[in-house]
Chain A
């Protein structure tokens, strides 16, 4: 088969000819720039196979398989699409029993209607999205506000009963739609009053004023000095980490002092905060370290010539490691750019390696109210106590939740761990989210559960209008007995 750029794979007897950039019939071996390479096992339908590392050897000489067929039930019924009986005090739509490790487990499956709910949005960016407390809008309607920021991230709090039902009809509808889209993994455009426009989507990089945020900085300039001071010590006399927020200077910084880095006579522009930490060395922008400068020397004043010495070695680097420059002082104590020495190159790429990709993450937060709990048991407060005592495991579409301490059942869930399109809405407006309570059958009877309504798992899963979705490998299996409830 004369095909000049195809290579022949000899990994198996099919002996495929593979063109550059293509895979063979197996989807495992490919032609990468003329080389035969093996790729990770490709999975077509069954996600379990992708966890090839934990595959149990079969007919292996040392551990011959003993033929035992073990394992808990492989099916967990989630509340997605289960419906709800709200506002009636009726048993939840499905109460299902299954055997797990010899214990009769009950899962009460319902879709909760959450008027008290919202999302907490963490947006990995150092860009200023808008002043704290300012209103966040979608389609012009107020849907939430800017809340206190976190390390390397801006935080928005959206939804809540006031926006859902306390404002105009349109405000409620738009809030509900915004929450629903965010929870179902769709992109939403938000505008902060006196601030930026930002496109957010769970698990994706934020887009701030039309610019995709690629990476989080490793830390502020001062933190970067702290993290890397030891690696620089002895290899360079002075380091300036350029950052729009806090620019760090090694010789003046506490970390440099502790190492015994001598004074260098460096003089920074901007406003000194504490030793070695400078605010406002330049204007915000998209160049070095989130500032507007292209020439790093523009943030320096002339060195103090009584302290600085000829040959003094100076590294300037940004907080993402994307920009760097190396200088040595000449006899007039003026910096002259030189090639970055290999030892410093390594530390610059180390900064780059330590920057994580910027993401938006969405946590849904809601409280299970009276009627929802009444669908589980005739004595709702006992369910709350049972959740508190970790006898009952709460999941959201099978995903683990964090239960906020204190009264009620207020939980948070990472929406990216919930199956696709698990959230819905009602015209109230309010969000519909799946919620499952799993507990031992005996415990269920003790807390006044609807034991006569319990249906077997087999009776449910052989119904043909159930949607079966593969379990996510990174979620704990919801049916493993509780008493070890973990947060997200």
Chain B
């Protein structure tokens, strides 16, 4: 069964690798000599075919709230997930599933870089991205506000000299449920799983508790086995005044700043409607938002 279920293919551009298994969908691209890229893709694909089975073997544990005294999961990916959510476990409800996408991306990237010498590479797991950069290399990263309308609202340049190797985005419109109302919270952190967990936490903190325009539904009513259980997840956000948008973002920004000062993240961009907050500086060429405002030229 294993390995036959997973789909492994090159995209039509002939350069990027597409790995798909159950709910995991990865876009992978490596840069280097043809031989090394080929070796990396082979290694990534070989590692990939077992990942979902390993996770599912201890899924029940991974869906439970992670507490400081929780059992340590066994799998390599699961341990990455647990480590990423551990910093929050004392004060907040969080399950290791909050870091699953980033942890899987990291794992595949690790398999690739262990088997090949690459200039640079990324593994993109639905917006949660693990990055590899050799000295002197860089990536330009685009940030999407709404997954259903893939146009960019900002870009960031990641250079090898910066510590950032993980990017994640969370928001209520994304594939996973959110307790908050952010359209998108994008986090840059040293590792993808860490970024993934942090984006979830910050997006949850962009909120207007009890606001009448926000439609919330118990997660269990939508997906009976979801790790959020009876918790109310955001399904629709109606009219908000700019003052309310600002207040919601204040909560998220405060959370992002505390993560920044504790060293868990390097930067974050928080987007709700037409307002954006940016926390942290990476570099002179760092996160710049927004870039879309057209400047009109006078005749």
Contacts and interface: CB of A to CB of B under 8 A. Distances in A.
A334 to B, nearest CB: 58
> Considering residues B151, B288, B297, which has the most beta carbons from chain A within 10 angstroms of its beta carbon?
B297
Given A14-B23, A17-B225, A461-B140, A425 B124 contact: no
B291 to A, nearest CB: 5
B156 interface: yes
A433 to B, nearest CB: 12
B295 interface: yes
B135 interface: no
Interface in A33-62: 44-49, 51, 54-59
A142 to B, nearest CB: 23
Interface stretch (A82-90, A156-164, A193-201, A376-384): A82-90
A458 to B, nearest CB: 11
A27 B297 CA distance: 44
Contacts of B37: 67, 69
A71 B23 CA distance: 29
Main secondary structure, interface of A, reads loop
Given A81-B295, A86-B299, A466 B53 contact: no
Interface stretch (B38-46, B65-73, B88-96, B259-267): B38-46
A51 B21 CA distance: 17
Interface in B129-159: 138, 140, 142, 144, 147, 150-152, 155-157
Interface of B: 5, 8-18, 21-23, 25, 27, 34-35, 37-38, 41-42, 45, 52-53, 56, 59, 124, 126-127, 138, 140, 142, 144, 147, 150-152, 155-157, 174-175, 221-225, 285, 288, 291-292, 294-299
B278 to A, nearest CB: 13
A81 B294 contact: yes
A464 B157 contact: yes
Contacts of B151: 419-420, 467, 469
B270 to A, nearest CB: 19
A476 to B, nearest CB: 14
Contacts, number: 166
Interface string A422-464: 0011111010100000000000000000000000000001101
Nearest to A426: B299
Contacts of A432: 296-297
A226 to B, nearest CB: 42
13 contacts: A44-B126, A45-B27, A45-B150, A48-B16, A55-B10, A70-B15, A74-B13, A421-B292, A427-B299, A428-B299, A465-B288, A467-B155, A467-B292
A22 interface: yes
B45 A58 contact: yes
B225 A84 contact: no
Given A56-B12, A58-B10, A464 B285 contact: yes
Nearest to A85: B297
Contacts of B174: 44
Interface residues of A, number: 64
A336 to B, nearest CB: 54
Contacts of A300: none
Contacts of B42: 59
Nearest to B16: A48
Given A51-B12, A83-B297, A113-B299, A19 B222 contact: yes
A89 to B, nearest CB: 15
Closest 4 CB pairs of A and B: A12-B22, A67-B38, A13-B56, A25-B23
A245 to B, nearest CB: 40
A81 B297 CA distance: 9
Contacts of B142: 468
Contact of B222 (A22, A84, A87, A428): A22
A370 interface: no
Given A27-B175, A70-B15, A71-B13, 5 more contacts: A16-B223, A17-B224, A58-B10, A69-B34, A430-B299
A83 B34 contact: no
B2 to A, nearest CB: 9
Nearest to B8: A58
B124 A424 contact: no
Nearest to B37: A69
Contacts of A22: 222-223
Nearest to A9: B22
Contacts of B285: 464
Given A45-B124, A111-B297, A469-B151, A56 B288 contact: no
